């Protein structure tokens, strides 16, 4: 390289190289968030759902009570998705280019999709109240609460959102509260419940995509 050529812009990479680089970046991002481990945990939850349905695990009570144990498992999945967004790099990563929001969006959607897939597979173990449509709605909505919690209070505590929502839902189901914001209590085809769950998921997804998960670690020790 000569001084004359030093300041020329580098040639644009070829498309296959871009794709390879993009995949490589995505993989590194996923690994940094320990998303492979999260996927493994989600798989375990799917297996647990299968066992629960096949074993007729139900808390004592009417139809609303039969929702509870599958809901607990879905909430566990949402909690894992919420904390998986937490990154170890802090400001170092935020001070980079334009890819970060896309990586956040893609990884969150991918992990939520994976959670849905394994839980749907687990639902083949027995009669899941509301079936797969209800599973999609409930999982998306509860995940939204986790994403919002992670964006607001930090990835380390993002699990508190879904768990809090679960507790409120459990109390609401017991007392017959019918608001669509308690979407697990609504029938599978209910539009109001679906809209509320969808809105919650969209809000959470937007929050973590744009703002990212709030970091509780302001810097590393050696910065």
Partner 1 sequence: MNVELTELARRFGRNQAVAGVSLQAGPGVYGLLGPNGAGKTSLLRMMATVLPPSSGKMRLLGRDPGNHTQRREVRRRLGYLPQTLGYYPGFTVAEFVEYFALLKDMPPGQVPRAVATAVERVGLGDKGRAKLKTLSGGMLRRAGIAQAIVNRPDLLLLDEPTAGLDPEQRVTFRALLREIGEQATVVVSTHLVEDVGAACTEVALMDRGRVVFHGTPGELTARGEGSGAAGDAPLERGYSAVLAAARS
Partner 2 sequence: MTTATAPARPARAARRLPAPPSFLRLCWIELRRSPMPLILPLIALLFWFDSYRPSTTQAPLYPLVTFWNLGQGHTIIDFGPFVAGMSAWIGSRDGRRNTVDLVSATPRPRWAAQLAAWASAAAWAVAGYLACIGVTFALYAHRGVAGSPPWWWVAVGACAVLAFSAAGFTAGTLLPNRFAAPIAAFGGFLVMMMSSQAGFADRSGWALILPSNSNGNFQADSGILYPWLPDLPIARTMFFAGITVAAISVAGLPAAAGGRRLRMTAAALTAAGLATTGTAVGLASTARLSAHGMVIPALHDAASDRLTSYTPVCTGTGFRVCVNPAYRRYLADTAAALAPAVASVAGLPGAPVRAVQGPAVYDSADGGGGQPVTISGSPPVLSVPLGAWSFLPGINGFSTGPDSVGAFRQSVWLLFGQAFVGAGHGPGTPAQQAVQAALLQRLGVPFADQPGLLGSIELTSGHPEPLPGPVAAAAGRLAALPAATRHAWLATHLAALRAGDVPLSQLP
What whole-number distance in Å separates Cα of residue 44 and Cα of residue 57?
Answer: 17
Number of residues that bind partner 1 (CB under 8 A): 6
Determine, following the binding rule CB under 8 A, whether residue 175 of this chain makes contact with partner 2: yes
Q: Restricting to residues 192-221, name those near partner 1 by CB under 8 A.
A: 217-219, 221
Name the H helices within 67-98: 68-84, 91-94
Beta strands in the chain (DSSP E): none
Binders of partner 2 among 69-88, rule CB under 8 A?
69, 72-73, 75-76, 79-80, 82-84, 86
Part in contact with partner 2 (CB under 8 A); list of ranges 37-45, 89-97, 107-115, 185-193: 37-45
> Smallest distance from the beta carbon of 216 to partner 1, in angstroms?
8
Q: Which two tokens stand for residue 41?
A: 């945990």
Cβ closest to partner 1, residue 43 vs residue 154: 154
CB of 87 to partner 1, least distance (A): 17
String marking each residue 125-164 x if it binds partner 2 according to CB under 8 A:
------------------------------xxxxxx--xx
Per rule CB under 8 A, count of chain residues that contact partner 2: 36
Q: Among residues 100, 132, 168, 206, which is the contact residue for partner 2, using CB under 8 A?
A: 168
Q: Which of 216, 28, 206 is nearest to 101 (CA)?
A: 206
Of 153, 155, 35, the residue nearest 86 (C-alpha): 155
Which range in 2-10, 58-66, 121-129, 132-140 contacts partner 2 by CB under 8 A? 58-66
Instruction: Please name the residue that has the structure tokens 């899941």.
Output: 128
Run of H or E including 63: helix 63-66
Residues 6 or more apart whose CB falls under 8 angstroms from that of 22 comprise none
Structure tokens at 84: 């998986």
Task: Give me the residue label for tokens 């973590």.
Answer: 208
Residues 168 and 95: beta-carbon distance below 8 Å: no
Sign for the pseudo-dihedral over CA of 41, 160, 82, 129: positive
Examine residue 91 and tell whether it contacts partner 1 (CB under 8 A): no
Which residue ranges make up the site for partner 2 (CB under 8 A)? 34, 37-38, 41, 57-60, 68-69, 72-73, 75-76, 79-80, 82-84, 86, 155-160, 163-164, 166-168, 170-171, 174-175, 221
Which residue ranges make up the site for partner 1 (CB under 8 A)? 217-219, 221-223
């Amino acid at each position: 390289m000569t001084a004359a050529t030093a300041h020329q812009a580098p040639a644009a990479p070829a498309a296959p190289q871009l794709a390879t680089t993009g995949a490589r970046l995505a993989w590194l991002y996923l690994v940094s968030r320990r998303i492979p481990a999260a996927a493994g945990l989600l798989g375990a939850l799917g297996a647990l759902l299968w066992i629960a349905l096949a074993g007729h695990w139900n808390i004592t009570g009417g139809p609303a009570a039969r929702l509870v144990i599958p809901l607990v498992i879905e909430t566990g999945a949402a909690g894992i998705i919420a904390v998986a967004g937490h990154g170890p790099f802090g400001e170092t990563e935020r001070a980079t280019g334009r890819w970060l929001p896309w990586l956040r969006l893609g990884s969150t959607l991918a992990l939520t999709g994976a959670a849905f897939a394994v839980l749907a597979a687990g639902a083949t173990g027995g009669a899941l109240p509301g079936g797969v449509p209800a599973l999609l709605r409930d999982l998306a909505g509860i995940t939204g609460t986790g994403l919002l919690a992670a964006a607001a209070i930090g990835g380390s505590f993002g699990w508190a959102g879904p768990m809090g929502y679960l507790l409120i839902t459990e109390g609401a189901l017991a007392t017959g509260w019918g608001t669509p914001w308690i979407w697990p209590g609504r029938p599978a085809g209910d539009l109001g419940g679906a809209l509320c769950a969808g809105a919650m998921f969209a809000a959470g997804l937007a929050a973590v995509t744009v703002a990212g998960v709030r970091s509780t670690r302001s810097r590393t020790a050696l910065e």
